Amino acid sequence: MKYTRVNIPANKHIALVAHDGKKSELVAWCKAHKTQLCKHSLSATGTTGNLIERDTGLEVQKLLSGPMGGDQQIGAQIAEQKIDMLIFFWDPLSSQPHDPDVKALLRLAAVWNIPVACNEASADMLLTSKFMDIELPRMQPDYPDYLATRLP
């Protein structure tokens, strides 16, 4: 597989996701970082997005609820290179009926080499990174080239 150097833009598109037991923590985190988050584009799964928008005043593009396909919608946006960062407060101690969707979402974030935070500490690290407000150079798999070698 060949890789190509690309840049995550200075104005990032951030996906926000939280399991039910972590929604209040993500909303509190968004409140604490509202000044930084309002500089970027935000998308979220349905219920999480509604709570963030209601409690923080941040503008959030709301997708479907996670179990209804929202995790997959965010995954599709990652594959389409429309999401630059994923903040996913997941609950490792609770069983999730849509666990395959959750794993697929995290797998896509890894495949497309985007920054991912799965808890408050890692989200704080990402948000305070020197790359948060400037372009972030990274390597990304060259899928068009890969597919060209597989097609007749």
71 is catalytic: yes
Residues 2/142, Cβ–Cβ less than 8 Å? yes
Alpha-carbon 54 to chain mean position: 20
Give the number of other Cβ atoms within 10 Å of residue 150's Cβ.
6
- Catalytic-role residue among 55, 71, 101, 145: 71
Distances (CA, A) of 66 to 54, 74, 124: 18, 9, 23
Just list the catalytic residues: 71
